[in-house]
Amino acid sequence: MIILITGITSGFGKAMAERLTADGHKVYGTHRHAQELLEGVTYIHCDATDDAQVEAAVKQVLDAEGRIDVFINNAGMGIGGPLEFSSLEDARRQMDVNWMGMVRFLHWVVPAMRSQKSGKIICISSIGGLMGLPYQGLYSASKYAIEGYCEALRLELRGFGVSVTVVEPGDFSTNFTAQRKSAAGPEVAAAYPNYARSLASIEHDENTGLKPAYLAGKISKIVVSKRPPYNIIIASFLQKLSVWVKGVVPRRTFAWILSLYYKL
């Protein structure tokens, strides 16, 4: 299969590119600053926030292969901290990378798949796209946007042989934690005295979380599945349970549970 993955420099993207290449697929991957190149992967320099670069990246694959069988939207970033201290520019940046980055690629990928009457679209969301996470509100908002967009897209493409799968990872041990931009400073600590404790808990869960190769293995199965799932939560039992609990308990009760978990 011909597979295009966005953001393959590290973490999920790198693990998926490595696994899917080993599976025998032809993998193209976008990057901004690739350092370690995987054998067998075709790298395409592309910033997901640049309209022209995204169009050129998709065109490069179509010109070379004539089709895209699987598109995996993975490129993303995180901005943390109390929403009160998140700048308007932070909000724009978070949505531009995580949500609009996906929209830009799909603007060119969807017509190609619809024309060929086949294809799989796999978009990486997050547990944070199913519940608003404290001190990660901008990130959660960007992932909620992915959920809604893909739910609509799935229905629109239903008659064209194109599937849409949304993947919701829980905590994973990647460099995402180290690269997250977080609000800091004495004014933040004074206004939100529980922020530092909560952030430490968040980072601990991420650093001790599952490994990217585990997610890559799940994606490997979706790629060859005849009936890809609408969505799949890839997380610890406790995090999967939390999604179920949200659906059955009153919102106020669930908010109380999250406040305890995040040490608020």
Residues of the chain with pLDDT under 50: none
Cα–Cα distance for residue pair 162/89, rounded to 1 Å: 35
**Residue 53 in domain:** yes
Q: Could you tell me the CATH number of the domain that includes residue 70?
A: 3.40.50.720
Cα–Cα distance for residue pair 47/52, rounded to 1 Å: 9
**Residue 241 in domain:** no
Report pLDDT digits (tens) over 8-60: 998 999 999 999 999 999 999 999 987 788 999 999 999 999 999 999 999 99
**Residue 253 in domain:** no
CA angle at 70 for the pair 169 and 243, rounded to the nearest 5°: 20
* 144 belongs to the catalytic site: no
Cα–Cα distance for residue pair 142/95, rounded to 1 Å: 5
**Residue 147 in domain:** yes
Residue 156, domain extent = 2-236
pLDDT at 41 (0 to 100): 96
**Residue 56 in domain:** yes
**Residue 153 in domain:** yes
The domain tally of the chain equals 1
Are the beta carbons of 141 and 99 closer than 8 angstroms?
no
Catalytic one of 28, 135, 139, 192 = 139
pLDDT at 148 (0 to 100): 97
**Residue 264 in domain:** no
pLDDT at 185 (0 to 100): 80
